[in-house]
Amino acid sequence: MPEYVSSLQLAGAAVLTLAGVVWAIVVMRLLRRFRAAALRELPAAHLPFLPPQRQAGPALEKVELTPAEQDAFAGLIRRLGDH
């Protein structure tokens, strides 16, 4: 214990530190409790200014390759596989 600090000052610092820690814990628990309650009461978000979303993705597109394009693609795959 330093000579220039009284026992009363050390006790006061310890009490204030403990009070601060307790206050922080209580505030965090209250915030967590009220946030959970607010999320339960929150209705589903409805944004009227956005267009309705599709339920399914776009239709699949398929392009037939010519034999020359198929050979070029196969060559490209072989070259990429060598690296």
Q: What is the pLDDT of residues 22-37, one digit of tens each?
A: 999 999 998 888 887 7
Token pair of 81 as six digits: 């596989």
- How far are the Cα atoms of 26, 28, 30, 48, 80 from residue 39, in angstroms, in the given order? 20, 16, 14, 21, 50
What is the domain range of residue 14?
Answer: 1-45
Quick check: is 36 in a domain?
A: yes
Quick check: is 35 in a domain?
A: yes
Quick check: is 63 in a domain?
A: no
Domain count, the chain: 1
Quick check: is 75 in a domain?
A: no
Quick check: is 58 in a domain?
A: no
Quick check: is 17 in a domain?
A: yes
Quick check: is 26 in a domain?
A: yes
> How many separate helices (H) and strands (E) can be counted in the chain?
2, 0
pLDDT tens-digit map of 44-79: 666 677 777 777 777 888 889 999 999 999 999 999
Quick check: is 6 in a domain?
A: yes
